[in-house]
Amino acid sequence: MSQVEAFSAAEVIAAKRDRHSLTDPQIDWVIDAYTRGAVADEQMSALLMAILLNGMESREISRWTDAMINSGERMSWSALSRPTVDKHSTGGVGDKITLPLAPLVAACGAAVPQLSGRGLGHTGGTLDKLESIPGWRASLSNEEMLKVLQDCGAVICAAGAGLAPADKKLYALRDVTATVEAIPLIASSIMSKKIAEGTSALVLDVKTGAGAFMSDPEKAKELAHVMVGLGKRAGVKTIALVTAMDIPLGLTAGNALEVRESVEVLAGGGPSDIVELTVLLAREMLETVGITNVDPAEMLKNGKAMDVWRQMISAQGGDPDAKLPTAKENLTVTAQSSGTILSMDAMKVGLAAWRLGAGRSRQGEAVQAGAGIEIHSKPGDVVAAGAPLYTLHTDTPAAFARAQESLTNSVTIGDLPKDGKIDRLPLVVERITD
């Protein structure tokens, strides 16, 4: 016997189309019915577009998030002796911060249950990067996650099928219906997974600038405020940093290339911007769970974070000593003129890395472990005409031409302004706590 539905999809769509607030029962029903298959994709598509165009008030966003959480399981880390804290980044070009950050925070005494995702388009995915390490496994059961957390203090893995299944369906639908940019939908998607994950504290790294999903800093701040509110209403201590993604982070974009750079950071070296943001986020994460007597910068220098990294990679089947994959072909792109690099477009660099095979255009596509870009100079550096700017890596040399097209005008080279300042975003644009 078929279930008698509490509402019809058409009346819920019409309510939001006509700029009314959805009631709690309407939201609960439409998320549950869509997850069950009682609301069709075309009906949910219409509702998502109405939300994109007409927005949601904070109560609606909170209830929508709760409904997505309630579509699946909630994880618990009560068996751990350490406080739990997680970090989420909205993604960008060269953003490999999770790789050194999770073991660093664990080395300082917290537990980091880091559920991560795969890359889509120009933004890289943490799981794709780690899968370039021979033997490393992204998929763990809840029991395996708990064991790695107990043994190592940090785990980075894929979310299980039972975690916010409504979000998995909605995410795929948003991607093909041009509704990805809706702030209520972005915020509820991210926070439903993070709240269901069961962490007691959360630090959000919301990227802004040319290479970010939210390129407008004001929109990035709005998203950060909404997510912090959702976290706090759910009892998760939440803060957000809006950080720069106008130029790439670090000196690499691509899977194995970024793992190599992350290991350099854990070894006490690496690019200064990666080190600075990793330490800054570590301090924020530790402060949220009351650990203030340990200096994360010292834990990078003394090798304790590297010890946790090696243990964590091994616990998930990886070989921390294995040689990382390298691409079969490489090509150097040189500077066309001499002077100071005044700007570098992160989006163009990200698109080039994607075209070389480091990313995917649709869910489920394979990526090349060795593909990507090494960056030899960044804004503020002085270069001579003919000096290397980028080295491109790929297994498919036919991809070089399109990658080079992406990099056209990706840098501006000229004379340094009289005040000696490069026009770019500060590393941290804003810190948001409410």
**CB of 300 within 8 A of CB of 276?**
no
Per-residue b/e over 59-69, b at no fewer than 16 CB within 10 Å?
Answer: ebbbbbbbbbb
Token pair 């300042």 in the structure block, residue: 421
Alpha-carbon torsion angle 150, 151, 157, 158, nearest 10: -40
**CB of 255 within 8 A of CB of 138?**
no
The CA angle 120-144-278, to the nearest 5 degrees, is 50
**Nearest Cα to Cα of residue 81 among 159, 131, 146:** 146
At 320 the pLDDT is 97
| Residue 71 bears catalytic tag | no
Q: What is d(CA 360, CA 86) in angstroms, rounded to the nearest whole number? A: 26
Domains observed in the chain: 85-159+179-322 (3.40.1030.10), 329-414 (3.90.1170.30)
At 360 the pLDDT is 75
Contacts of 193 (CB under 8 A, 6+ apart): 115, 159, 163, 164, 167
Active-site residue (options: 89, 189, 377, 406): 189
**Nearest Cα to Cα of residue 188 among 69, 89, 74:** 69
At 161 the pLDDT is 82
Alpha-carbon torsion angle 132, 136, 142, 145, nearest 10: -100
From residue 433, give the alpha-carbon distance in Å to each of 20, 276, 291, 314. Answer: 29, 21, 18, 36
Taking each helix axis from N to C end, the angle separating 98-107 and 272-288, rounded to the nearest 10 degrees, works out to: 50
| Residue 219 bears catalytic tag | no
Q: What is d(CA 239, CA 81) in angstroms, rounded to the nearest whole number? A: 23
| Residue 419 bears catalytic tag | no
Active-site residue (options: 16, 63, 87, 88): 88
At 1 the pLDDT is 43
**CB of 40 within 8 A of CB of 78?**
no
Quote the DSSP letter at residue 337: S
For CA atoms 75, 78, 80, 86, the dihedral sign is positive
Helices (H) and strands (E) in the chain, counts: 16, 13
Phi and psi for 204 in degrees, rounded to 5? -100, 130
**Nearest Cα to Cα of residue 121 among 398, 365, 409:** 365
At 359 the pLDDT is 83
At 260 the pLDDT is 98
Active-site residue (options: 63, 169, 193, 378): 193
Residue by residue, DSSP assigns 244-308 as E-SS-STTEEEHHHHHHHHHHHHTT-S-HHHHHHHHHHHHHHHHHTT--S--HHHHHHTSHHHHH
**CB of 68 within 8 A of CB of 34?**
no
State the 10-residue block means of pLDDT for the chain, 434 residues long. 83 98 98 96 97 96 97 93 96 94 98 84 82 96 95 94 90 85 93 94 96 92 97 96 96 97 97 97 98 96 97 98 97 97 96 91 80 97 97 97 96 92 92 92
Active-site residue (options: 174, 207, 225, 237): 174
| Residue 193 bears catalytic tag | yes
Q: What is d(CA 153, CA 113) in angstroms, rounded to the nearest whole number? A: 8
| Residue 393 bears catalytic tag | no
* Beta-bridge mates of residue 340: 382, 414
State whether residue 411 is helix, strand or coil: strand
Residue by residue, DSSP assigns 308-327 as HHHHHHHHTT--TTSPPP--
Quote the DSSP letter at residue 397: G
Active-site residue (options: 167, 205, 246, 345): 167
